Amino acid sequence: MTIEAKVVAITGASSGIGKATATLLTERGAKLVLGARREDRLETLAREITAAHGEIAYVRTDVSRSEDVSRLVALAVERFGRLDVLVNNAGVGPISPLDDLRVEEWEAMVDVNFKGVLYGIAAALPVFRKQGTGQFVTTVSTAGLRIVPGQAVYAATKNAVRTLCEGLRQEAGENIRVTAVSPGFISTEFAEGIANPQTRAEIMERARQFAISPDAIARAIAFAIEQPADVDVNEIVIRPTAQG
């Protein structure tokens, strides 16, 4: 039951849940390979982790591009000789009412939230099969558990990912673990990507009232990773106590 020396790749690692997870796992001895679109933030985080005596590699990664995700996984194998865990964390949430007809934003959510996870599976699954072991950890959302107005497309992408994870779990076999983590309201930059002013204001107000730290999700991810090889934590739901 340990994380020490495991090689963990994380997408969406430059802020929020990804950054919190990277920080916690390096404290527990993991070797990290980080990917995100904002390379300057990745560089800053890498310096911080290296200063804390962590082992890290990073590469700019846009998960909507399959070649970027493949490059992230290849970097892990090149740098550390293996990959033990892929944390599919990158996601976007430009939520809005369907009447806004923000088709490009719908496409972005499909490309990042759903296809990005598919690309992660395509990149890491052959590595895990060759090694005979591995783990997928995917950030989903409670938005898919309780559907509310304004979040139809976002929730749909997250429920697609939840279905995908369950199918992957059933096909993975006895040596590959699959974990889906569904956060509720978390203190992240989520609201900054919302163009609809009313929706953005509502989300920001709810977050101000009861959002919890991304550290809570990082701890859940660490819990799933540190279990013995014959224990597969399939799904974790974490909400603020005050969230309805």
169 with 179: CB under 8 angstroms? no
Which H/E stretch holds residue 107?
helix 103-109
Q: Is 119 a catalytic residue?
A: no
* Whether pLDDT at 228 is above 90: yes
Report whether CATH 1.20.1250.20 matches the domain 7-238.
no
Q: How far apart are CA 230 and CA 159, in angstroms?
A: 27
Q: Give the whole-angstrom CA distance, residue 172 versus residue 223.
A: 20
The residues near 185 (Cβ < 8 Å, ≥ 6 apart) are 206, 207, 210, 211, 212, 239, 240, 243
- Per-residue pLDDT at 96 exceeds 70: yes
Q: What is the pTM of this model?
A: 0.95
Catalytic residue among 106, 119, 154, 185, which? 154
Q: Could you tell me the pLDDT band of residue 129, with boundaries at 50, 70 and 90?
A: very high
| Residue 52, pLDDT above cutoff 80 | no
CA separation for the pair 76, 89 (Å, rounded): 17
Does residue 174 surpass a pLDDT of 80? Answer: yes
- Residue 107 CA to residue 100 CA, distance in Å, equals 14
User: pLDDT of 176-211, one tens digit each?
Assistant: 999 999 999 999 988 888 998 999 999 999 899 999
* Confidence label for 73 from pLDDT (cuts 50, 70 and 90): very high
Q: Residue 18 pLDDT > 70, yes or no? A: yes
């569904």: which residue's tokens? Answer: 182
What is the reported pLDDT for 168?
98
Give residue 51's pLDDT. 80
Q: For the chain, what is the mean pLDDT?
A: 95
